[in-house]
Structure 1
Amino acid sequence: MDTLKQNIILFDLDGTLTDSMEGVIRSVQYMQEKMGMRVWEFEELRFIVGPPLIESFTKELAMELPKAEKAVEVFRERYTTVGLFENKVFPGIMELLEELKKKGKRMAVATSKKEDQAVRILEHFGIAPYLEVIGGDAREIGRDTKAKVIEYVLETMGAAKDDVIMVGDRKFDIIGAHALGLPCIAVEWGYGDRAEFEAHDADIIASTTEDVAKLF
Structure 2
Amino acid sequence: MARIFLALFLLTGFGLKAQPVLKGGLENFVANNKIYPLYSLQNCIQGGVTIGFKLNKNGEVYHSEIRRGVGTDLDDEALRLIRMSSGRWTVPQDHDSTVVIIAPINFKLSGYDCANKSKEEIRQAIRNYKTNQGLTDAVLNFYKKKADGKFTKDEESRILALKKSLGYDDEYLNSRISDGKKKLKQKDKQGACEDFLFVKHMGSDLADELLAKYCN
The structure number with the bigger radius of gyration is: 2
TM above 0.5, yes or no, is no
TM norm structure 2: 0.25
TM norm structure 1: 0.25
Which has the higher relative contact order, 1 or 2, with Cα contacts under 8 A spaced 6 or more apart? 1
